[in-house]
Structure 1
Amino acid sequence: MAPNDTQVSFALAEPPVETAPAPAEQLRTRFGTLTIKPAHKLEMPRGPFGFSDYTQFALADVPNQPASQFRILQSLEDTEVSFIVLPTAADNEWIGTADFEAACASYCFDPTTSGLLLIATMRRDTNGQVKATVNLKAPIVLDTANQLARQVVFTSDAYTIRHPLEL
């Protein structure tokens, strides 16, 4: 669950409406059919670590889970490349404010219009229970005003790559 058992949500800034908005696209992926809204597309100029060839992404709801706190960060260039992410506001209990602001500054992102995407991993334990972790060491910083994202690595040992979540 998100910090303090509250669902954290932020959205990409909606572009000014001058003409009829472009329709949402349907994209068949390994997670099922995703609805991709033009306003939820974003660019990752260097791609996620290990996927530098992929720079065009979109945030989409998890199919059949409309109230889920998780989202899917889906590549628009390869339907097999996607990540389960947990959108997290800048003021959370996991990532220090100073570290978040330093990450924003390093990419010239405005911290007031930025947030974080924590890459999540879901695994079943030996009892078949789903266990979730998030990567606090290398979150994705998201500039919602400009629809840009960059992955950052924090050098502090305070952040782990497998921080457990309570589901």
Structure 2
Amino acid sequence: MLVETKTKGCVEISNDRLISIPSGLFGFEEYTDFALVDSEYEPLMWLQSLQEKNLAFLLIDPFLITDDYEAEIDDNELLKIGIKDPADVMVLTIVTVPDDGSAVTANFQGPLIINKKNHQCMQAILDGSKYTTKHNILEALKRKEAK
């Protein structure tokens, strides 16, 4: 499928990279059809809206940033996107790159949960104050390397 992207122009995307987010993302509920598009900066990738070419989110696997990340989500919530087996789960977090040069952060409190089998996705909100929406990626990588 040809997808018009915010950052790379028109790109060919295979069907296994298409993602449906039935409830949308928080603040962007009307957009439900997306594609995972490789970024020029691995291991980052883009979550590109299929409905609005100028809507794209930079994503990263939180487990690459820290070893102790835990996305504890109620099983009933996971059933909404058809997840029955933990092996079917892919977790990604939205990255923010501020224009002012301040820290690059990941939203550890609102991860995206993707069912790898049916390509359904949801954005979860993790309870408690263990994680923030502005988890400093560089600081976390430095701590990880120091271990």
**TM-score range normalised by the length of the shorter chain:** 0.7 to 0.9
Q: What percentage of aligned pairs have identical amino acids?
A: 25
Deviations 1:71-129, CA, capped at 9 Å, x for gaps: 0001111111110000345xx624326x1xx345422113111021100011255xxx5
Task: Name the one with the larger helix percent.
Answer: 2
Kept after mapping to 2: 8 A contact 1:42/1:56: yes
Consecutive aligned runs of 4 or more in structure 1 exceeding 4 Å deviation: none
5+ long unaligned stretches in structure 2? 142-147
Kept after mapping to 1: 8 A contact 2:6/2:48: no
5+ long unaligned stretches in structure 1? 1-23
**Partner in structure 1 of residue 93 of structure 2:** 118
Kept after mapping to 1: 8 A contact 2:6/2:54: yes
1:5-44 equivalences in 2 (<5 Å): 24-25=1-2, 27-33=3-9, 34-44=11-21
SS of 2:97 mapped into structure 1: strand
Give, in whole Å, the separation in 2 of the partners of 1:121 and 1:94: 21
Number of residues of Structure 1 aligned to a counterpart in Structure 2: 133
Give, in whole Å, the separation in 2 of the partners of 1:51 and 1:94: 29
Kept after mapping to 1: 8 A contact 2:46/2:57: yes
SS of 1:161 mapped into structure 2: coil
Cα distance change, pair 157–150 in 1 and its aligned pair in 2 (3 A): same
TM-score by length of 2: 0.79
TM-score by length of 1: 0.70
Deviations 1:107-154, CA, capped at 9 Å, x for gaps: 2113111021100011255xxx57310000111111111101000101
Question: Over the residues paired in the alignment, what is the CA RMSD in angstroms?
Answer: 2.3
- 1:84 paired residue among 58, 62, 80: 58
AA aligned opposite 2:97: M
Displacement after TM superposition at 1:30 (Å): 2.2
